[in-house]
Structure 1
Amino acid sequence: MKKLYLFDFDGTLTYKDTMFLYLKFYNSTKFYVQFVKHIPLFILLKLNLADAEKVKKSFISSILKGESLAKIDKKAQSFFEKFERDIFRKNALEFIQNIDRTQTECYIVSASLDIWVKPFAEKLNIKLLATQTEFADDIFTGNFIGKNCNGPEKVKRIIEAVKGRKFDKIIAFGDTSGDREMLAWADESQFEFFH
């Protein structure tokens, strides 16, 4: 039986959101300065008066824009090594490790940026679909390639990735409204399964 497993990352496989954690780890001084500057935007976001993708891009860009791919990758690896044990849900880890991979494809489908989720995906031997960081001459431009990988975009990216391959069963795991479309698209959906 051919199966496709789709896992949201933040909150589903982890105990907490990794964006703030990684950005703070990357440069804590810059993080706090930019966090304070972005408070008005975060408030507008909570009130549904701002576009989530724009606020996210603005905040990430304020800390990482102009940084080299080598430095960002190195920090992502250090971040993974430091936080892997603390933030990853043990039961989620066990579940993934026990999946029979002979007839199965597994993906992490995350709105988080590919840069800091990649080491986790590599460790788990899972393919990654995430919000993509744009680099020009190995320097982060502050932009994303394509859309934020959230909501309907998650389904679009999955369909592109599996390119018409047939699966007997598609199982999706999520924990927020950003996973709603992916959960609805799958044959079987698990909400807060590892909580």
Structure 2
Amino acid sequence: MSGWQADKQVVAAFDFDGTMTNRDTLFPFLSHVSGQLTFFRNFILLLPVLVGYKLGLIRNDLAKEQVFTRFFWGVKMDALKYKAAQFAAQKLPNLLRPEAMKRFEWHKKQGHRCILISASLDIYLQPWALIHGFDEVICSSLEVRSDGYISGKLSGANCFGIEKARRLEALMGDRKRYILYAYGDSEGDKELLSMADHAFYREMPSH
């Protein structure tokens, strides 16, 4: 590292689904929470929404809210958090990419500030990230009504695309003051990767 960079903090920002894991984690989470029969029934009812999203006819955040409303309407957040913690401890380990975890461990050993940044939900990402030692988690959240029940809406913006870059900037401040490694695997990571000093798209270096 050149001399002018030596005193800069190094930050490693990891997307989650498809980057740290070998697949999307939302549907496995929904299946874990609802049970397989309810999951498949809801999935069939949501097919028009999912197809519309895939065809670019429905925005990511709006499609998500329809999914969340279908699965979580009438569910208390406390009950969902309990199942989310179970999912983080019992199911997520089977979905992780070993090469991604090795890269994360490399950054930790270097003393870098490691940030998990994802459009997935905080209720299962935060307990998982705490177990593994991430410094911060930036992600999407569910809106909770005053009576403790989930509304089906997102609380704040969906952490996808430009929102990832905005939230990282809000957390870290002046971009010139730190060196950024970024890891992603999809169109939703484009803005995050474009602001990095070292961007890795669908790849993990061996060291």
Matched length: 195
The answer to whether the aligner puts 1:32 opposite 2:52 as a matched pair is no
Describe the SS at the equivalent of 2:75.
Answer: coil
Describe the SS at the equivalent of 1:9.
Answer: coil
**Deviation readout 1:92-145 (Å, 9 max, x if unpaired):** 222222324675221111011111211221112211100121112432121111
How far is 1:165 from its partner?
7.2
Q: How does 1:137-152 map to 2 (within 5 A)?
A: 137=146, 138-152=148-162
Indicate how the Cα distance of structure 1 residues 100 and 55 shifts in structure 2: closer, same or farther if over 3 A, else same: closer
Q: Which piece of structure 1 moves more, 95-104 or 138-147?
A: 95-104
- Specify the alignment match of 1:193 in structure 2: 203
Q: Of the candidates 55, 61, 65, which is equivalent to residue 69 of structure 2?
A: 61
Describe the SS at the equivalent of 2:117.
Answer: strand
Q: Of the candidates 121, 137, 140, which is equivalent to residue 131 of structure 1?
A: 140
The amino acid across from 1:27 in the alignment is: S
Alpha carbons 2:12, 2:107 under 8 Å: kept = no
Alpha carbons 2:165, 2:192 under 8 Å: kept = yes
For the residues of structure 2 that align with 1:3 and 1:182, how far apart are their CA atoms?
15
Specify every segment of 5 or more residues in structure 1 that has no aligned partner in the other structure, as ranges. none
How far is 1:183 from its partner?
0.2
How far is 1:76 from its partner?
0.9
Q: Of the candidates 173, 186, 196, which is equivalent to residue 163 of structure 1?
A: 173
Alpha carbons 2:107, 2:114 under 8 Å: kept = no
Q: Which piece of structure 1 moves more, 23-32 or 182-191?
A: 23-32
Specify every segment of 5 or more residues in structure 2 that has no aligned partner in the other structure, as ranges. 1-5
Give the aligned CA root-mean-square deviation in angstroms: 1.9
Q: Of the candidates 105, 108, 119, which is equivalent to residue 111 of structure 1?
A: 119
Q: Which piece of structure 1 moves more, 45-54 or 1-10?
A: 45-54
Q: Give the structure-2-normalised TM-score.
A: 0.87
Describe the SS at the equivalent of 1:98.
Answer: helix
Percent identity at matched positions? 27
Indicate how the Cα distance of structure 1 residues 47 and 165 shifts in structure 2: closer, same or farther if over 3 A, else same: closer
Alpha carbons 1:107, 1:129 under 8 Å: kept = yes
- Specify the alignment match of 2:12 in structure 1: 5
Q: Give the structure-1-normalised TM-score.
A: 0.92
Q: Of the candidates 178, 182, 187, which is equivalent to residue 177 of structure 1?
A: 187
The amino acid across from 1:125 in the alignment is: G
For the residues of structure 2 that align with 1:30 and 1:53, how far apart are their CA atoms?
23
